[in-house]
Amino acid sequence: MTAIAFRAIKTPANIFDKSAKSILDKVDARVSDFASGELTDDFNETQKTFKDKFAVQTQDKSSRSQVNHEAFIAEPIYFFLSGGTAVRYATMSPDWRSKTQPGRLGAGPGRGRVLYVNKRKPRPGIKARKFDEQIVQKEKKPFERAVEEAIAAGVKVVF
């Protein structure tokens, strides 16, 4: 499973009075929008040319002391692409070209096909695409800005 978790703020348990809750609600809503919007779009970009796309799931894992929403794809094949493998048992056609490349979020057209799979004939593994790490790098600053704007909006409501 490839997953990304952004934790927006961490607060002491005794801070939940009315004004702090108002600010936290704004942050929670923005982080939720960020996970279901920007992060989902980034994950979809990594598989835009796939015939069978994987569902991008978002999940609210917030607690009383932190805002936490996750966006992830829970498919083994996607995990093998993003995390890489030590070996590969599939032999590809000579014209094979992967749809994805290490260091790139987008997916291209690719070409070729699997000729056969033989567990007795291991081949070099799949190089890790590290989609999750690339998405974190890409979205770090926009995420920080989004949280700061949500805090400012929450403060406006309170004062």
Distance CA 70, CA 61 (A): 7
- Dihedral sign, CA of 15, 144, 59, 4? negative
pTM, two decimal places = 0.80
8 contact partners, CB below 8 Å, separation of at least 6: 27, 28, 30, 31, 66, 67, 68, 147, 150
| Chunked mean pLDDT (size 10), the chain, 159 residues | 66 60 85 92 95 93 83 91 95 96 94 96 95 94 90 78
Distance CA 90, CA 83 (A): 17
Complete edge-to-edge strand list for the sheet that includes strand 2-10: 2-10, 66-73, 57-60
Strand pairing of 90-92 and 87-88? unpaired
